[in-house]
Amino acid sequence: MRYIHDYDNWWQFRYDSQSIMNELGRVRTKQGQVMGRMLSLGFDSQDEAVLSNLSLELVRSSEIEGEKLNLEEVRSSIARRLGIETAGLVPVSRYVDGVVEMQLDATQNYDKPLTHERLFGWHNVLFPTGMSGLYRIDVGRYRSGDMQVVSGAMGKEKVHYQAPAAGRVPDEMERFIAWVNSDENIDAVLKAAIAHLWFVSIHPFDDGNGRIARALTDMLLARSENCSKRFYSISSEIKVLQKEYYEVLERTQRGNGDITQWLLWFLGCFEQALQSTEDTLSSVMRKADFWESHRDVFFNERQRKLLNMLFDDFFGKLTSSKWAKIAKCSSDTALNDINDLIAKGILRKSNEGGRSTNYTLMDDRHS
């Protein structure tokens, strides 16, 4: 079986320019529209969008690799590091702080050169104990052994991809890093797509290659916008399309260097990420409009926290007992808070009575 890296000058990828440029033009237009709308928001709303999307990016990127991060921990870590004021910050583990540090280095410092040392630093924070599950791995340096991407039960494994021999990795990475840092005349979104494929095809580390590839993708997409604020999550879309993602990667890596199908798939995925952000933008703007129109109304800290949660699509029905639990107050205090918001015309009581009594925002879209 020959893989993409078995061909001479394999990194000189080929693609059908006409079909790619047609798709790229439409996606770039949408990207500009989304960025324009987001940057027109006030700073607080921008921060809210950045916090939500960066948090999702990290959680979904880890989920693709079968690892589950606590969303509230991730949000708290990002909020602290970006200086975003938010109620209900929770304690954060050292590991989550490290993963956040990697993502923020990629996106906040998007204009800094990529180096071997920078990649080693990212790898270190993903594996602070030097272990991947039960196995010790090379951490903060390129792999010293051969690498296969396999699936299936032991004894019935299917090999999806065989990465270049370990002895090739330093030279392959030297070439890759030089290309990432070069001013080659190529559209920056296409560069992000090619970098993702190229990096996972080298597969330079024992583990964590997918998460680092997606951080690199975010870094290069930030360069394409010349903006460190991340208003969409491409990892969220990759997670939704995970089966397709692995299938198109495998087909391309088993090919002869024509990456047209990979680029088309990536652009489609990117377009979906932009569309998802447009959908969430209406929620952010609704929330911003609410606080602007109620800027002269007094709310206590508990009310502000719970109202923000309702605008963020609070999970399940809001009851007085849930209010008490989340706000860490007595049932009487919770009911007083709720009745005050009903009197102010902000909440309304459902028609269900007794223990089923719950409350929604007066905005019909949250009914």
The residue type found at 121 is G
Q: What is the largest CA-CA distance in the chain?
A: 74
What is the architecture of the domain spanning 297-366?
Answer: Orthogonal Bundle (1.10)
Name the residue with tokens 């190529």: 186
What is the architecture of the domain spanning 4-285?
Answer: Orthogonal Bundle (1.10)
Output the six-digit token pair for 73.
Answer: 């921990």
Reference 94, options 125, 123, 66; nearest CA is: 125
The C-alpha R_g of the chain, in whole angstroms, comes to 23
Name the residue with tokens 């033009």: 25
**pTM for this one?**
0.81
Tell me, what's the pLDDT at 365? 42
Domain with CATH 1.10.10.10 in the chain: 297-366
The residue type found at 129 is T
Cβ neighbours, 10 Å, residue 17: 10
Give dist(CA 17, CA 15) in Å, integer.
6
Tell me, what's the pLDDT at 364? 43
Beta bridge partners of 131: 136
Sign of CA dihedral 122, 126, 130, 133: negative
Tell me, what's the pLDDT at 355? 67
Domain with CATH 1.10.3290.10 in the chain: 4-285
Tell me, what's the pLDDT at 48? 81
Series of mean pLDDT values for 10-residue runs along the chain (367 residues): 95 96 95 89 83 89 90 90 77 90 95 98 92 87 92 85 96 98 93 98 95 96 94 92 95 96 97 86 78 91 88 75 92 95 93 76 57
The residue type found at 182 is S
Q: How many residues does the chain have?
A: 367
First to last CA, the chain: 57
Tell me, what's the pLDDT at 113? 97
